Structure 1
Amino acid sequence: MITVANRFTVKKGFATRMAPAFVSDQSLLNWDGFHKIEVNVCSKAEEHDELNVMMFWDTYEHFEAWRNSDDFKNSHKRDVAKTSDGQDQSPILSNQIVVADLVATLVK
């Protein structure tokens, strides 16, 4: 099994508002190899929020099949607000994707 973590730094106050969007795509439940998504928000920093989206997949190939699909493209369509000069006004300051093998788990 693998995990795919998408670690976002976002403008203060946005992480909690953005979090539900990452679990609203019900089409994921139909994809072979998909297990679950966990979304964590940390708002401890004064200048930004952190949003961590962790996906669990059987294999990297399963994840890649979804990532190259129309379902992925459709789930990532967003209306982006524009500034007065026409620039995108996204709350996302940065993000990093980390793919890792899941090698140990402890569950109660």
Structure 2
Amino acid sequence: MYVVTNRMKLKAGFAEKMAPHFTKGGKIEELNGFKRIEVWQLDNEEDADYMYVNTWWETEEDFNAWLKSDAFKEAHGHKSKSKDEESPVIENEIVKAHVLSTLD
């Protein structure tokens, strides 16, 4: 199993608004090796939201195929924003990991 996490720091109040965007489904569900997406909001007392978007894949190769797919391009297509509309993302980091052991 292979997990990729996008760790995002967002402007306060945006995590709950953005989370459904990542779990609405679509062509990603049809890709080989795709398992699931989980969106987490971390508990904190700061003036920002911390959200982790975790995608679970059977293999690293399956994830890499997603990056090259039309489904990826479609999911990450940037809609035009007005000049006054700023991104709620303050910063982000991508973390990739091989799952070595689990207990269900």
Alignment of 1:1-108 (within 5 A): 1-42=1-42, 44-79=44-79, 80-83=81-84, 89-107=86-104
Give the TM-score normalised by structure 1: 0.87
CA distance in 1, matches of 2:83, 2:52: 25
How big is the shift at 1:52? 0.3
Pairs aligned (count): 103
Aligned equivalents of 1:62, 1:29: Cα separation in 2: 12
Alignment-mate amino acid for residue 34 of structure 1: F
1:35-54 CA distances to partner (integer Å, 9 max, x unpaired)? Answer: 11111012523310011011
Amino acid at match of 1:29: E
Shift of 1:25: 3.0
Percent identical across equivalent pairs?
39
CA distance in 2, matches of 1:43, 1:19: 15
User: C-alpha distance in 1, partners of 2:11/2:82?
Assistant: 14
TM superposition score normalised by structure 2: 0.90
Q: Aligned equivalents of 1:102 and 1:95: distance in 2? A: 22
CA distance in 2, matches of 1:66, 1:82: 31
Shift of 1:81: 4.0
Change (3 A) 1:49 1:81: farther
Shift of 1:16: 0.6
Equivalent-residue separation in structure 1 for 2:86 and 2:103 (angstroms): 41
Distance, in Å, in 2 between the alignment partners of 1:42 and 1:17 is 15
